[in-house]
Every structure is written in structure tokens, then in C-alpha cells.
């Protein structure tokens, strides 16, 4: 009788082992991150969507959608929140100025240096520094993101690195990176968690999606 009860358990165990053995191993996370960082050296334009779930002190942005180019600046729509409330505007960044267009007309402001195309794209840009500065890399799984088969990688980015990209963030952050399986490896999504600054606060999540790498003509069709 005892043997009869052992048979199903044995079969289940063998099935689980067989299932695990049939799963292909994940590639080295560092190889994918390094390859994506190399691709960012030549990134001159991209379409992006940024969402912010929560409030980062000093950063009055809840969402951005648009196109950015080293040759043509940036253009798109912004969801902003500051002391005066929340508003949705169009924006165009050209040179050292950004023009906001909303229900109250147009407003021209100086462009914030950390968020110009030159500060974000290219070999010295913030996106590449985010990848080259990431530590504790750990491959997690394959996922399909924006019709692109992608390798999801968890990592940590030290405060000294992320502060150079987003000055308003003062602490280490946890990130997840999605990098395309196809070559050249492309960074297609970044999820970032900012720890709370006090016990009364909540963690803030930022998510950045990137598409049309080097295929964007800023302002086309707008």
C-alpha cells in the first residue's frame, strides 16, 4: 500500500525536474546591460513615455510623452503638478528654452540643464550613465514589451549615479531594465523605485518606455 502512494509522488517529482531541465538558462545580465550601454553611445533620437506614480520633491512632473533628438530638441505633452495645482500642457524644447502651451496660453522658460537632449542622449548622456553605473545585476525573465522580446534585469543604482541623472533623487534606487533580445541590444523600458524619505511617505515609482530608437524626426506630423 505504501508503495502505491509513492508512485504518484515520484512521477510528480520527475515531472517537475523534467520541466525545469527543459527551461533554457538565462543569459548573463551584465552582457546584456553592457551591450545596451554600447548601443546608447550612438542614440541620437527616441520616442519616450515617462510616468511618475507619486511625488519626487523638486520634480513637478507626473508624466511626459514625446520625442527627443540631439538635432531637433524635444516636443510632446506634459502632465505637471506644482504648488499651483495639476495641469496638462504641450511643450517644445529648443536650445536653452522650453515653451509650454496650455489653456492659459504660452509660457517660455529656461530649459533645465539636466533634462536637455544633450544631458540624456549620447555617450555621456544620463541613459547610458544609468546602465554603466548599475550594480547587483540579476537576470529575471523574458518578457514581451512593446512588441519586443526583452530580457528583464533587476539592479540597484547608487545615489551618486542616479543623482547625476535625476538631481532630485538623493538615495540609492532599485531598478528593472528591459533590454531587447534582438541585436543591437536596445534599452526599451526602465522601472525605478525611489525609497520614501520619511516613515510618513511612500515609495515613488518612475517608468520610462523607449521606442523608435534613431528613427524619430522631432516635430514631424505635429
- Is residue 3 domain-resident? no
- Predicted structure pTM score: 0.86
Indicate if the pLDDT at residue 26 is higher than 50.
Answer: yes
Contact criterion met (CB below 8 Å) for 97 and 106: no
Indicate if the pLDDT at residue 198 is higher than 90.
Answer: no
- Is residue 203 domain-resident? yes
| Strand locations in the chain (E) | 45-53, 61-69, 73-82, 85-94, 97-102, 105-110, 135-145, 148-157, 173-180, 187-194, 204-211
Mean pLDDT of 6-19: 45
Count structural domains, the chain: 1
Dump the DSSP string for 163-209. HHHSTT--S-EEEEEEEESSSSP-EEEEEEEEPPSSTTS--EEEEEE
pLDDT (0 to 100) of residue 57: 84
Sign of dihedral through CA atoms 162, 164, 167, 170? positive
- Is residue 123 domain-resident? yes
- Is residue 198 domain-resident? yes
- Is residue 145 domain-resident? yes
Over the stretch 143-185, which tens digit does the pLDDT of each residue have? 999 899 999 999 999 999 999 999 999 999 999 999 999 999 9
- Is residue 13 domain-resident? no
pLDDT (0 to 100) of residue 5: 53
For residue 60, the domain's CATH number is 2.50.20.20
Helix (H, G, I), strand (E, B) or coil at 66: strand
- Is residue 216 domain-resident? no
- Is residue 84 domain-resident? yes
Over the stretch 80-93, which tens digit does the pLDDT of each residue have? 987 778 899 999 99
Which residue is it, cell 510528480? 12
User: In this structure, what DSSP letter does residue 59 have?
Assistant: B
Q: What domain range is 66 assigned to? A: 27-211
Amino acid at each position: 500500500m505504501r508503495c502505491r502512494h509513492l508512485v504518484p509522488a515520484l512521477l510528480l517529482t520527475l515531472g517537475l525536474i523534467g520541466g525545469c531541465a527543459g527551461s533554457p538558462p538565462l543569459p548573463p545580465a551584465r552582457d546584456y546591460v553592457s551591450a545596451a550601454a554600447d548601443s546608447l553611445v550612438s542614440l541620437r533620437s527616441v520616442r519616450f513615455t515617462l510616468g511618475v506614480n507619486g511625488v519626487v520633491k523638486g520634480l513637478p512632473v507626473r508624466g511626459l510623452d514625446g520625442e527627443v533628438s540631439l538635432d531637433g530638441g524635444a516636443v510632446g505633452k506634459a502632465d505637471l503638478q506644482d504648488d499651483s495645482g495639476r495641469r496638462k500642457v504641450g511643450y517644445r524644447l529648443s536650445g536653452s528654452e522650453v515653451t509650454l502651451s496650455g489653456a492659459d496660453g504660452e509660457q517660455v522658460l529656461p530649459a533645465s540643464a539636466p533634462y536637455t537632449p544633450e544631458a540624456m542622449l549620447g555617450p555621456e548622456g544620463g541613459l547610458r550613465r544609468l546602465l554603466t553605473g548599475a550594480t547587483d545585476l540579476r537576470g529575471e525573465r523574458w518578457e514581451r514589451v512593446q512588441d519586443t522580446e526583452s530580457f528583464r534585469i533587476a539592479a540597484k543604482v547608487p545615489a551618486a549615479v542616479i543623482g547625476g541623472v535625476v538631481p532630485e533623487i538623493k538615495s540609492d534606487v532599485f531598478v528593472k531594465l528591459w533590454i531587447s533580445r534582438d541585436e543591437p541590444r536596445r534599452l526599451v523600458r526602465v522601472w525605478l523605485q525611489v525609497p520614501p524619505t520619511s516613515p510618513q511617505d511612500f515609495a515613488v515609482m518612475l517608468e520610462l518606455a523607449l521606442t523608435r530608437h534613431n528613427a524619430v524626426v522631432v516635430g514631424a506630423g505635429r
